[in-house]
């Protein structure tokens, strides 16, 4: 009996070992990959580049005082529309003591000279009436008297200008009154009444009292990478996307590309400028940040597939087309324009073909089935979205 039980235990142990080996063997075998497929579609392919920048007025002027002093009055505020020549501010001059002293001394001297000229003129006139002196002597005395009177008036005017910045003789062109040099909208008034301001000179750009711009003439200023600048040209249309106006469709026309680039964070950038097309129903504020889509090339309703379906052998692009359930044959294709996601197929495929996705096994949870390149059902490759592949070259 014991012998029988020992044999039975041995048989059971052997069976267990055999069963374990079979299970482990089956688990070690990889299941065959069932590739997904996608069907080519007809769609529009647009190749574009993006420039970042802002929308600014084409002409913005900083209004500065003609004299240094203190802001006595302000006549405008931000957002107000004004005309050329309208009052912006009035500046009260703080006299310089040296200039004031010189002006007062000049006035005193002019008064003394006038008194002397009047006495001399009186003597010459009396002598002329007596017949003692010639007419020419009296004429010289009258000229000296007129010159003394003019010098006195000039000295008084200079003293008034030093004290107040203006005088009765130059009231129409007083430098203490600040006027707008252009018509437009007041964008900013960075000073307050009582602030000190400085006139522009060789050593200082002066204090800005107001910034004024024509808001009816706006431009987009942005920068384009050197890898794309060779593909753009003046006259191209730009579509602007403004974060503050997400629903607005704003178009602009490229009018300038900088001939020289500047280095920013290790990359060479070229400045561009585009004229924004005015929209009477849309108000654009200065310095709105914006992105500009520049269309480099476009194909309408062409046959296209997802770039992840392409395979390459050297320079030759090809795909694998399904001929039966999980049976595929190679087809060489000629590619055209790519937008980084989809690529044009010039020749080599029909709209009814089912194209194998060669990276099905790289996508977790992928299952076999049909899809379309446009719908995004075909699994993508491991590269980042939008990265260009060799298929972006024009075929032929």
What are the residue boundaries of the structural domains of the chain, listed by start? 37-45+299-392, 50-57+215-297, 61-93+172-213, 97-169
Digit-coded pLDDT (tens) for 209-221: 999 999 999 999 9
pLDDT value at position 372?
A: 45
Q: Report pLDDT for 26.
A: 67
Q: Is pLDDT at 386 greater than 60 in this prediction? A: no
Cα 172 to Cα 66, 166, 167, 169, 345: the distances in Å are 14, 9, 9, 8, 75
So what's the architecture of 97-169 in CATH?
Orthogonal Bundle (1.10)
CA distance 372 to 38: 5
Q: pLDDT band for position 170 (50/70/90)?
A: low
- Which tops the pLDDT comparison, 362 or 393? 362
φ and ψ of 43, to 5 deg: -155, 170
Read off the pLDDT band of 227 (50, 70, 90): confident
- pLDDT at position 285 is 92
- Which fold does the domain 50-57+215-297 belong to in CATH? Elongation Factor Tu (Ef-tu); domain 3 (2.40.30)
User: How high is the pLDDT of residue 15?
Assistant: 79
- Report which of residues 75 and 167 the model is more confident about: 75
Using DSSP's 3-state secondary structure scheme, residue 106 falls into helix
Give CA–CA dist 51/224, Å, rounded.
5
Q: Give the tens place of pLDDT for each residue, 344-357.
A: 999 989 888 899 88
Q: Which of 118-127, 186-195, 328-337, 372-381 has the lowest mean pLDDT?
A: 372-381
pLDDT band at 387 (very low <50, low <70, confident <90, very high): very low
Positive or negative, the CA dihedral 161, 164, 165, 170 is negative
User: What is the rounded average pLDDT of the residues 15-24?
Assistant: 77
CA gap 350, 327 in Å, rounded: 17
Calculate mean pLDDT across residues 178-197. 93
Confidence tier at 167 by pLDDT (50, 70, 90): low
* Predicted pLDDT at 11: 73
The predicted structure's pLDDT at residue 259 = 94
**DSSP state string for 122-190:** HHHHHHHHHT-S-HHHHHHHHHHHHHHHHHHHHHHHHHHHHHHS--GGGGGG-TTEEE-SS-EEEEE--
Average pLDDT over residues 64-80: 90
> Structurally, what CATH architecture does the domain formed by 37-45+299-392 represent?
Beta Barrel (2.40)
**Which pLDDT band, with edges at 50, 70 and 90, does 174 fall under?**
low
In this predicted structure, the answer to whether residue 314 has a pLDDT above a threshold of 50 is: yes
Whether the predicted pLDDT of 94 surpasses 90: no
Least confident of 11-15, 289-293, 335-339, 353-357: 11-15
Q: In angstroms, what CA-CA distances link 102 with 92, 151, 201, 318?
A: 20, 14, 22, 92
Mean of the pLDDT values across residues 128-139?
83
Q: Examine the pLDDT at 2 and tell me if it is beyond 80.
A: no
What is the overall mean pLDDT for the chain?
A: 82
Architecture of 61-93+172-213 per CATH? Beta Barrel (2.40)
Instruction: Report whether pLDDT(58) > 50.
Output: yes
Q: Which residue has the tokens 């024009």?
A: 394
Query: What is the Cα–Cα distance from 300 to 294, expressed in whole angstroms?
Result: 17
Instruction: Give the pLDDT of residue 375.
Output: 39
Give per-residue pLDDT as tens, 249-302.
Answer: 899 999 999 999 999 888 999 999 999 998 888 899 999 999 999 888 888 999
């Amino acid at each position: 009996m014991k012998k029988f039980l020992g044999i039975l235990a041995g048989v059971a142990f052997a069976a267990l070992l055999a069963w374990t080996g079979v299970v482990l063997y089956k688990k070690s075998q990889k299941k065959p990959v069932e590739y997904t497929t996608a069907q080519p579609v007809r769609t529009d392919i647009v190749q574009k580049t993006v420039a970042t920048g802002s929308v600014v007025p084409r002409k913005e002027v900083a209004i500065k005082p003609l004299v240094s002093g203190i802001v006595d009055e302000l006549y405008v505020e931000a957002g107000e529309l004004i005309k050329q020549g309208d009052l912006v501010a009035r500046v009260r001059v703080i006299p310089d003591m040296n200039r004031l002293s010189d002006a007062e001394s000049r006035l005193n001297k002019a008064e003394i000279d006038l008194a002397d000229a009047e006495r001399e003129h009186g003597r010459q006139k009396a002598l002329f009436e007596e017949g003692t002196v010639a007419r020419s002597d009296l004429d010289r005395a009258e000229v000296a008297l007129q010159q003394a009177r003019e010098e006195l008036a000039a000295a008084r005017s200079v003293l008034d200008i030093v004290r107040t910045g203006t005088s009765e003789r130059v009231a129409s062109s007083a430098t203490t009154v600040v006027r707008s040099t252009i018509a437009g909208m007041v964008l900013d008034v960075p000073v307050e009444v009582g602030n000190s301001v400085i006139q522009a000179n060789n050593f200082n750009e002066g204090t800005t009292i107001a910034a004024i711009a024509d808001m009816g003439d706006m431009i987009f200023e942005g920068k384009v990478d050197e890898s794309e600048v060779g593909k753009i040209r003046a006259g191209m249309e730009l579509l602007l996307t403004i974060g503050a106006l997400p629903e607005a469709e704003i178009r602009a026309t490229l009018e300038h590309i900088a001939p020289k680039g500047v280095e920013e964070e290790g990359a060479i950038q070229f400045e561009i400028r585009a004229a924004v097309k005015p929209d009477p129903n849309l108000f654009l504020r200065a310095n709105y940040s914006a992105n500009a889509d520049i269309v480099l090339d476009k194909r309408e309703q062409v046959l296209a597939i997802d770039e992840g379906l392409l395979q390459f052998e050297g320079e030759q692009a090809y795909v694998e087309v399904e001929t039966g359930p999980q049976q595929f044959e190679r087809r060489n294709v000629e590619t055209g324009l790519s937008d980084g996601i989809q690529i044009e197929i010039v020749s080599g495929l029909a709209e009814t073909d089912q194209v194998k996705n060669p990276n099905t096994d790289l996508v977790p949870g992928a299952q076999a089935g049909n899809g379309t390149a446009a719908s995004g059902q075909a699994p993508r490759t491991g590269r980042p979205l939008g990265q260009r592949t060799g298929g972006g070259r024009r075929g032929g």
